[in-house]
Structure 1
């Protein structure tokens, strides 16, 4: 499985979590593997579980940088993509920032509305510009 495919799988897990707030990410994965006969990629698991470990910090970033939009007004697709990508921007050193943003925009084009890709790009660009200097992609 490619990184892009694993990222898409992580997006789906995070998206499913938005409908099943009481389930852990492990429960979501268990249901996905049993119900749909899929095997969760280790990178997808790392992204989805990493997001869960930092959900409050990530949601604060979304609220801070999605100007004029309340969290409850953001589509579940865009919100799930933002959560995944902000995790990559702030907490994962495996992927350069610009790659994480590009992948997020591609997910938004594939799964979201016409407006989602530009919204996601704008929010992620603001998050990237606000990162502390010691958390740049060159670290």
Structure 2
């Protein structure tokens, strides 16, 4: 399974955070994995670990995104775009194994797949501002 495919599974599960909490979220994740074929035990464990880490950081990620998104707040963002931004923000700020440029590129690609027509530009713009705020310009 490619890193992009793993990231897509993480996105799909992280998206559930908007609709489920606690034990219900765990049950929904278990149902998701029951329906998806071809995920090795190693990838399954990796996906769940990343998901749990991201869920713990949602308040921090949202705060960083709110600071970077001038004129936008996470409460007003589309659920798909918000989930993509949370995933990328986590990768940029917390995952040293993923270069920021890769996280941004992958987020834009997820936006093309799961978001609206304007999603890729919106996602790219907010993540670029996040990087500038962190003192790490992507240009």
SS of residue in 2 equivalent to 1:54: helix
Q: Which residue of 2 aligns with 1:31?
A: 31
Q: Which residue of 2 aligns with 1:124?
A: 127
Q: Structure 1 residue 24: deviation in Å?
A: 6.3
Out of 63, 75, 82, the residue aligned to residue 60 of structure 1 is: 63
**How far does the alpha carbon of each residue in 1:113-138 deviate from its partner, in whole angstroms, 9 at most, with x for none?**
011111111111111122267xx9xx
Q: Structure 1 residue 78: deviation in Å?
A: 0.2
Q: Is 1:43 paired with 2:77?
A: no
Q: Which residue of 1 aligns with 2:109?
A: 106
Q: Is 1:80 paired with 2:83?
A: yes
- Following TM superposition, the consecutive aligned residue runs of length 4 or more in structure 1 with deviations greater than 2 angstroms are 21-28, 37-47
TM-score in terms of structure 2 length: 0.85
CA contact (8 A) 2:16 2:25 kept: no
Where do residues 10-21 of structure 1 align in structure 2 (5 Å cutoff)? 10-21=10-21
Paired residues in the alignment total 134
For structure 1, list consecutive stretches of 5 or more residues without a partner in the other structure: none
Q: Structure 1 residue 72: deviation in Å?
A: 2.1
Please, what is the CA RMSD of the aligned residues?
2.3
Whole-angstrom distance in 1 between the partners of 2:15 and 2:131: 22
Describe the shift of the 1:25–1:92 C-alpha distance in structure 2 as closer, same or farther (beyond 3 A): farther
